[in-house]
Amino acid sequence: MQTLADFIKLIMKEMIPIRKADHLLFNLAPFIVITSTIMAMAALPLAKGLQAIDFNIGVFYIMAVSSIGVVGILIAGWSSNSKYSLIGAMRSGAQIVSYELSVGLSLLAIVVFSGTMSLSGIIESQADGWWIFKGHIPAIISFIIFLIASTAEINRGPFDLAEAESELTAGFHTEYSGIKFAFFYLAEYMNMFIVAALGATVFLGGWMPFHVGTWEGFNHIMDFIPPMVWFFSKTLFIILIIMWFKWTFPRLRIDQLLTLEWKFLLPISLVNIVLIAFIVLMHWHF
């Protein structure tokens, strides 16, 4: 509700023109960012049959359209003609491009398990148990990597170097005001919802109830809870973890941020995906 209240406040604020900015690109950047976010949200299944588009390559589609947002951020930083904006945009570009690799590999782990890229297909493959439980330790490792890498990708703390207030004022959107700033602001929170919803869908069964093997009575009770309640509960759980990160850990330096990805998360992800492929080949998963 706070996000909605802030958005209403911002659309009523005056838009301050920046005299030496590249006006065409300056005005275009927030639309690129918000459009990519809305396109990604369209593929999320809220309940059985309740999604705008059900692609057979849903995971690939979300990764592809969400990565367009970084173009908008780079354009915003460059066109603002401000050193704070440019440094923030460069940091954000390096951060998003780097951490997308780990996010993609952690999602690919569950694609290997389920044998499909369709989000509805991945959910249906979890009817007898969520992949975080069925996929043994490699699925848990993928989930942890997904949480860390996706938090970095959406510029949330402790990875919020692109808009570090103590260093860069507001980073890539320093020179924006009114509804244009509102688009950046709203896109950040929408991205957090998309990341959490994608994690809930792929790892925690999406709208699928919690079922335990042959416990017919327990499973029957779980079926009474509406699918949308399951979906939003799981999504809010992941959002809570992402917010918990922000208030627990101090902000990293840019070199520490990139070291974490290239020296730790990426090698672990690559070894993990090979391990998962072996488990699937040997039919050792549940």
Q: What is the pLDDT of residues 172-183, one digit of tens each?
A: 777 787 788 888
Is the pLDDT at 162 greater than 70, yes or no? no
Q: Which residue has the higher pLDDT, 250 or 192?
A: 192
Rounded to whole angstroms, the Cα distance separating 162 from 116 reads 35
Is the pLDDT at 248 greater than 80, yes or no? yes
pLDDT at residue number 135: 78
Which region holds residue 40: left if phi is over 0, alpha if psi is between -120 and 50, else beta?
A: alpha
Mean pLDDT, to the nearest integer, of 223-252?
Answer: 88
Ranges of each domain in the chain = 2-280
Q: Which residue has the higher pLDDT, 125 or 214?
A: 125
Rounded to whole angstroms, the Cα distance separating 240 from 244 reads 6
At residue 154, φ and ψ (nearest 5 deg) are -95, 15
pLDDT band at 53 (very low <50, low <70, confident <90, very high): confident
Tell me the two tokens of residue 113: 């398990």
In whole numbers, what is the pLDDT of the chain averaged over residues?
85
Mean pLDDT, to the nearest integer, of 107-126?
Answer: 88
Is the pLDDT at 7 greater than 80, yes or no? no
pLDDT band at 61 (very low <50, low <70, confident <90, very high): very high
Buried b (16+ CB within 10 A) or exposed e, 249-268: eebbebeebbebbeeebbeb
Q: Please, are residues 83 and 17 in contact by the beta-carbon 8 Å criterion?
A: no
pLDDT at residue number 163: 65
pLDDT at residue number 103: 92
Rounded to whole angstroms, the Cα distance separating 107 from 62 reads 11
pLDDT at residue number 164: 63
The proportion of the chain whose per-residue pLDDT surpasses 70, expressed as a percent, equals 96
Sign for the CA dihedral angle at 72, 255, 199, 57 comes to: positive
**3-class state of residue 255 by DSSP:** helix
Is the pLDDT at 146 greater than 90, yes or no? yes
Closest CA to 139 of 250, 285, 237: 285
Rounded to whole angstroms, the Cα distance separating 3 from 191 reads 13
pLDDT at residue number 285: 65
CA 45 vs CA 34, 120, 143, 241: distances in Å? 20, 7, 19, 21
Sign for the CA dihedral angle at 107, 110, 115, 116 comes to: negative
pLDDT, one tens digit per residue, over 62-73 is 989 988 888 888
Q: How far is CA 182 from the centre of its chain?
A: 19
Mean pLDDT, to the nearest integer, of 48-55?
Answer: 81
Beta bridge partners of 47: 50
Between CA 122 and CA 127, with CA 124 as vertex, the angle to 5 degrees is 120
